[in-house]
Amino acid sequence: MNLILLGGPGAGKGTQAKKLIDKYQIPQISTGDILRAAVKEGTEMGRKAKEFMDAGKLVPDEVVIGIVEDRLKQPDCTKGFILDGFPRTVPQAQALDGALAKMGSRIDHVVSIDVDEEALVTRLTGRRTCKNAACGQMFHVKFTPPKKEGVCDKCGSELYLRDDDNETTVRSRLTTYNQATAPLIGYYAAKALVRPIAGVGSIDDIFNKIVGILGGGGHTCACGR
Ligand code: AP5
Ligand code: MG
C-alpha cells in the first residue's frame, strides 16, 4: 500500500505515520526527518536546507525529489510506504507520479488531515521531539506529555524543541502550506484519491479513522503476503 499523508505543519502526520508503520509494516518516508538528519550531519545539502527550514520555506523541489526517488528504490519500499511531508508542491507530485510509473507502481491513498490553524500553532510550540533519530517520537507538553519531563518514554533519550517550532517560523510554515501545498488536495481529488479527515480528537480515534479508510491490511499471513 502506497500512502500519502497530507496536512499542515503539526496536523499529526508524523504521529499517525509512526502508528501506521506498526500496523501495516511499511516504512515512513519523512522528507523533514531526512533533511534534519542532513542538517545534523552538516552535509552541504543540510547546510543549504537549514536556511529554508528555519525560514519556514520549502527546500527546492529538485533537492527533495532526488531524495525521495532514491529512497523509493530501497528494498523496504517494495511492499509499500507512507509518505509524510512529501509531496508538498504540484511539481513534486508530478515527479512522484512519474517515478512510480517507471517502477510500475502508483499512489493508492491520500489522507488529508485537517486541523485549524490556531490549534496547529499550539501543537507545534508545545511539541517536544526525541533527539534520537532512530526513535524521533513526538510529545506535547500539555496534550501528550512524557512520563518524565524532557525524557523520551520510548527510548530514554533527551527531548528537544525543533528549531522551526517557534511561533514566527510556524506562522511562516502555515503560509507556505496554504500557498504551495494545499493545492495538492485538488490535484489528488482530480484523481479521486483524496480522503479528508478531521484531525482533532484523540490520536487513537484519528488513527482508527485512517485505518477505516485504508482497510485492515497488516501482516497477518505467515507466508508474508
Ligand atoms: P516537516 O518535518 O515535514 O514538518 P511539517 O510538515 O511542518 O510537519 P510537522 O512535522 O511539524 O508536523 P506533523 O504533521 O508531523 O505533526 P506531529 O505528528 O509531529 O518539514 C519541516 C521542514 O522541512 C519544512 O518546513 C521544509 O522547510 C522542509 N521540507 C520537508 N519536506 C519538504 C518537501 N517535500 N519539500 C520542500 N521542503 C520540505 O504532531 C505535532 C504535535 O501535535 C506533537 O506534539 C503531537 O504530540 C501533537 N499531536 C498530534 N496529534 C494530536 C492530536 N490528535 N491531539 C493533540 N495533539 C496532537
Ligand atoms: Mg512531522
Buried b (16+ CB within 10 A) or exposed e, 143-153: ebebeeeeebe
**Closest C-alpha among 161, 157, 163 to residue 135:** 157
| Angle, in degrees to the nearest 10, between helices 44-54 and 31-41 | 120
Q: How many helices (H) and strands (E) does the chain have?
A: 9, 8
**Closest C-alpha among 2, 8, 56 to residue 28:** 2
- Cell 526525541 locates to 130
Q: If you measure from the C-alpha of residue 221 to the centroid of ligand 2, how many angstroms do you get, rounded to a whole number?
A: 31
- Count the Cβ atoms, other than its own, within 10 Å of residue 75: 6
Judge whether 225 counts as a catalytic residue.
no
Q: Which of 18, 36, 50, 88 is catalytic?
A: 88
Q: If you measure from the C-alpha of residue 10 to the centroid of ligand 1, how many angstroms do you get, rounded to a whole number?
A: 4
Nearest atom in ligand 1 to the alpha carbon of residue 57 is 27
- Count the Cβ atoms, other than its own, within 10 Å of residue 41: 10
Instruction: Please tell me whether residue 40 adopts helix, strand or coil conformation.
Output: helix
Judge whether 13 counts as a catalytic residue.
yes
| Grid cell locating 54 | 528555519
Judge whether 148 counts as a catalytic residue.
no
pTM of the model: 0.95
DSSP summary character for residue 181: I
Tens digit of each residue's pLDDT, the chain (225 residues): 999 999 999 999 999 999 999 999 999 999 999 999 999 999 999 999 999 999 999 999 999 999 999 999 999 999 999 999 999 999 999 999 999 999 999 999 999 999 999 999 999 999 999 999 999 999 999 999 999 999 999 999 999 999 999 999 999 999 999 999 999 999 999 999 999 999 999 999 999 999 999 987 654 444 333
What are the Cα distances from residue 92, in Å, to 61, 63, 129?
A: 6, 10, 27
Q: If you measure from the C-alpha of residue 191 to the centroid of ligand 1, how many angstroms do you get, rounded to a whole number?
A: 25
